Amino acid sequence: MFWRVLGTIGVIVLLTATPLLAQEAMTAEELVVEEMTFCTRVEDREPIGEATEFTTEVGRVWCWTEIVGASDTTFVTHKWYWDGENVANVELEIRYPRMRTWSYKTITSEMAGSWKVEVVDASGEVLKELSFEIK
């Protein structure tokens, strides 16, 4: 009888703990970068002039991302790198389960080189990265 009761308690604990463990795992992995691109402007929340190579005369390069999976308000950061050096961090609020958001970097004639943007979640995990060139 003792083992039967103990076994039943163990099953109850396991069954009640499992949803909590699954919820924690889902929370840690819920944000996904569905789409990411570079462009010359954003109109009506959509990227215009998508490319992976730009000239120094471009003026601005925009990093447009579509983020899915947020169950509560959170943040992502666009980390901009030029020739391996972090030159800008733009924190963007994510308020909806599916949200398009963007940031831009002003480009001057001296800024030719290799560029990369990392999309990083609030815990510091890199969700996605993408590169482009300024010539």
Claim: this prediction has a pTM higher than 0.75: yes
**How far apart (Å, rounded) are the C-alpha atoms in residues 114 and 122?**
26
- How far from 39 is each of 43, 54, 99, CA to CA, in Å? 11, 9, 18
Contact 50, 61 (CB under 8 A): no
Q: Which two tokens stand for residue 41?
A: 């402007």
* pLDDT tens-place string over residues 76-127: 999 999 999 999 999 999 999 999 999 999 999 999 999 999 999 999 999 9
CATH of domain 32-134: 2.60.40.1930
The domain ranges of the chain are 1-30, 32-134
Better-scored residue on pLDDT, 3 or 14: 3
Categorize the per-residue pLDDT at 30 as very low, low, confident or very high, splitting at 50, 70 and 90: confident
- DSSP per position, 32-64: EEEEEEEESEEETTEEES--SEE-GGG-EEEEE
CB-side neighbour CA atoms (13 Å) of 75: 10
Of the chain, the percentage scoring pLDDT greater than 90 comes to 78
Place of tokens 């579509």: 66
Collect all residues with Cβ–Cβ distance below 8 Å to 22 and sequence separation of at least 6: none
Better-scored residue on pLDDT, 23 or 72: 72
